[in-house]
Chain A
Amino acid sequence: MRQTRRHGRTLAWQALICVCLLSIWQWGYDLHGRLPWLVPDLLDPYFVSKPSEIFEHFLILSCLKSKLGVFNGWFNGEFGRCMARSENNLWIATAVTLKNTFFGFATGVSSGFAGGLVLGRSDRLSAIFQPFITAVNSIPRIALAPIIVLAFGIGDTSKIVTSWIVVVFLVFFNTFEGARSIDEGFVNAARLLGASEWQITRTVVIPSTMAWVFASLTPAISFALIGVIVGEFIGAERGIGRLIIESEARAEASGMMVAVIVLMLVGVALSALIWRLQAYLLRWQQHNLAE
C-alpha cells in the first residue's frame, strides 16, 4: 500500500519534470528577446527545433501527413504512394537500422562469446594471442568505420561489419574474464561426477560465465547501434543515420531530432529486451540478492 503510494509520487514527479523540460524547449526561446541573460542561444529552434515542429516533421517523415499539411488517409492510397516514393522514409530507415544493428549485435556477441570461452579456458592460446588482442583493443574501433565502408561498400554489409567490430571485443573481454574466474571447485565436482570436457563446458563453464556475458550485453546493444549509425553517416542509401545526414544538409533541426528520438526509443526497447532475458536466464542470482 505504502509502496504503491510512493511509486505514484515518483511517477508524478517524473511527469512534472517531463512537462517542464518540454515546455522550456517549446516556449523558452520566445523569452530570448526580453530576457537574453536567462535564455541561452542554444535554445534557438534553428539548432534544437521545438517539440511541436518535431512532431509535425515526424508525421511527414513517416508518411502520415503530406508535405502540404494534409493528413494522408489510410485507405485512399496516399500513405502507400508516399511510402513507395520516399525510399528513406522513417519506417524503412528504422527497419534498416534495426536490422543491421541486430545482425551486428548477433554476430558480435556470438563470435565474442565463442572466442572468449576458447581463450579463457586455454592458457596456451590466451598466451599466444594476448599481445594481438591488446593491440587491436587499443584502437578506437569506430575509427575503422571509413575503412570498412570503403572495403564493403555503402550497402548493409559495411554497417554490420562496423557494428560487429565494436561489439565483439566488448563481449570477448567479458566472456574471457568470466571464463578465467570460474570456480575450479565446480569444474572438479562436475569432472568427478563423470562429466566429459564438452559436458563441463556446457553445464559449468557457460552457466557460470553468463553473469559476465550479460554485464556486457547492455553496453553491447548501444555499441551496435552506434556502429551502424556511424557507418550510415559515412555512406549509406538508407537508415536513420542517413536521415540525420540528409536533414543536416538541409539544416533541418526537426528532422535530426525525429531521428534522434527514434534512436532513443529503439535503444530503450532493446535494452529492456536484454534486461528481461537476463532476469530470466540469471534468475538464480535473484535469490542471492534476496539473501
Chain B
Amino acid sequence: MTVQAINTSRSVALPDMQRIDVRGLCKTFQLAGAAIEAVRDVSFNVRRGEFVALLGPSGSGKSTVLNMIATLVKPTSGQILIDGTPVVPGQATPNVGYVFQRDTLFPWRTVADNIGYGLQLAGVPVAERKERINACLKQAGLQGFGNAYPATLSGGMRQRAALMRTLVVEPQVLLMDEPFGALDTHTKIDMHDVLLRIWEREQQTVLFVTHDLGEALTLADRIILFSARPGRIKDIFEVDFARPRNAVKIRETPRYAELFQLIWHSLGEEFIKGRSP
C-alpha cells in the first residue's frame, strides 16, 4: 500500500514535469535613450527530453528569449522556471549547458584543455578528466587534435570542440543559440548528425535557436515560430518524423517537403515584416 503510494507519486511527478517553463516573458532594451521592445509576452513549455527549435527571422527576439533562459539577459518581466525552480539572472543554473552562436573556445587553451574546462572548474581529478576529454575528442572526431590550439582548427572542428566543452559536464538541459549558423551547408549537416546521435543517446532537453527552417525540421520535435519584432509566438508546429533521424535522408521525404511548405509561408511573412522599417 505504502509502496504503491510512493510509486504513484513518483510516476506522476516525473513524466509530466515541465523541464523549461516560460511564462509571460517580456524584454525591452534601452538603446541610446530609445526603448526597443524585443520580446512581448512569450509563454511556452518544454518537456523533459524534448527537442524544441525557436525559429524566426533575425531580430525576432528568439535569441533574447534563449539568453534570458540562460541567465545572460535579465527579463523586463515574466518568469522562467527550470525543473520548477526560477532561474536567477547572472547566476548559472546547474545542469544547464549553453552553446554560443560563435565558438567561444579560449584561444590560450588547447582543444583538450578547452573541453576539460568545466571539469577543471568542478574539481574533477586529472585522471578522470583526461578520460572524459578523450571520450569527447573521439565522439567529436577530433582525435589527434587535443594538443592543438583552436586557431589552427577549421570552423566545423572548432564548433564541435565548443559543443563538447558544453557536453562534457553532462548537462540535462542544452540551450543552443544558432550554433551552426556560421558553418557551410555540408559541415552544418554533418553537425546535425553529430548532435542527433548525441541527443538520441543522452536524451537531453534541447532548446535550439535558428533562422534556418531546414535545420529546425531536421532536428526538432516541435518548432516554435516567432514573429518579427517585437518577438511573439506566432505558431507552434509538431514535427512528427520518426526517430532516429538521418540528417541527409530526412530532407528527401515527402513529409519534409510538406512541412517545409507549410511553415515556409508563415516564416516568409515574418521575414518581409522584419525587413520593412
Contact = CB atoms under 8 A, between A and B. Distances in A.
Contacts of B100: 185, 188-189
A284 B166 contact: no
A195 B117 CA distance: 9
A288 B106 CA distance: 13
B149 interface: yes
B152 A204 contact: no
Interface residues of A, number: 24
Interface string A20-51: 00000000000000000000000000000000
A290 interface: yes
Contacts of B166: 193
A168 B165 CA distance: 38
Interface majority SS (helix, strand, loop, mixed), chain A: helix
A193 B108 contact: no
B121 A193 contact: yes
Contacts of A188: 72, 100, 104
Nearest to B105: A189
A192 B97 contact: yes
A284 B104 contact: no
Contacts of A208: 108
A203 interface: yes
A186 interface: yes
Contact of B151 (A193, A199, A210, A288): A288
Contact of B106 (A191, A194, A204, A291): A204
A287 interface: yes
Given A192-B98, A193-B166, A207-B106, A284 B151 contact: yes
Interface of A: 183, 185-186, 188-195, 199, 203-204, 207-208, 210, 282, 284-285, 287-288, 290-291
7 contacts: A185-B104, A194-B92, A194-B121, A203-B117, A207-B106, A288-B151, A291-B152
List the 4 closest pairs (A to B, CB-CB), nearest first.
Answer: A189-B104, A193-B118, A185-B104, A207-B108
